[in-house]
Amino acid sequence: MGIALGGAKARRGRRGRGAAAPIGDINVTPLVDVMLVLLIVFMVAAPLMTMGVPVDLPKTAASSMPLEKKPITITVTDAGDLSIDGDPVSMQMLVATVNALAVEGTDERLYVRGDASAAYGSIMEVMGELSAAGYGQIGLITERRQSD
C-alpha cells in the first residue's frame, strides 16, 4: 500500500500543485479561419465565373421572365463573334453545338444576347440559323431601362 501511495504522490508532484486536467474540447478557431478564407475566395471568384463575354445589352421597358432552369445562351459581340454559354463557336458549328447542349431537343428555350452596337443582320442571321434548325423558342435578352 505504501508503494501505491508513493507512486500517486510522485505523479502529482510531477504535474505540479493544482495542475488542471487536460482539456477535452475541440479547438474550432482554425476551422473558422479556414471557412472565412474560403468564403472570401468564393465571394471574389463567383462574379468572375458568371461573367462570360462582355456585351453591352440594349435597354428596354420589358420585365424579366421567370426561369425554371439555366437556358442555353448564344452571345453575339459587336465584332460579330459568337459564343454559347461563354465558349467561342463559329457560325458553321452553331447549330451542332446547340444540338449537343439541348436536353429537350428543338423544344429547348434559347436566348440570344446581342451587343447593342452589333449589326442587326448578324443577330438575325444567328436567329435564322437556329429557326431553320427547328428551334421555335428563341428569345432576345435585354437590360431593363432605368425609368426617370
Of 118, 129, 137, residue with least CA distance to 75 = 118
| pLDDT at residue 108, rounded to an integer | 83
More confident residue, 113 or 48: 113
5-20 residues labelled b (16+ CB within 10 A) or e (exposed): eeeeeeeeeeeeeeee
Report pLDDT digits (tens) over 9-62. 444 555 556 677 777 788 888 889 999 999 999 888 877 665 556 666 677 766
pLDDT of residue 67: 58
Angle, in degrees to the nearest 10, between helices 120-132 and 94-101:
60
Q: What is the per-residue DSSP string for 36-80?
A: HHHHHHHHHHHHHHH--S---PPEESPPPPP-SSPPEEEEE-TT-
Q: Which CATH architecture has domain 59-144?
A: 2-Layer Sandwich (3.30)
Cell numbers for 9 = 504522490
Q: Determine the straight-line distance between the first and last CA of the chain, rounded to whole angstroms.
A: 95
From residue 2, alpha-carbon distances to 6, 9, 11 in Å are 6, 11, 14
Average pLDDT over residues 138-143: 80
pLDDT digit string, tens, across residues 68-107: 667 788 888 888 888 888 888 988 888 888 888 888 787 8
Reported as a single tens digit per residue, the pLDDT across 48-68 is 665 556 666 677 766 666 656
Is the model more confident about 128 or about 62? Answer: 128
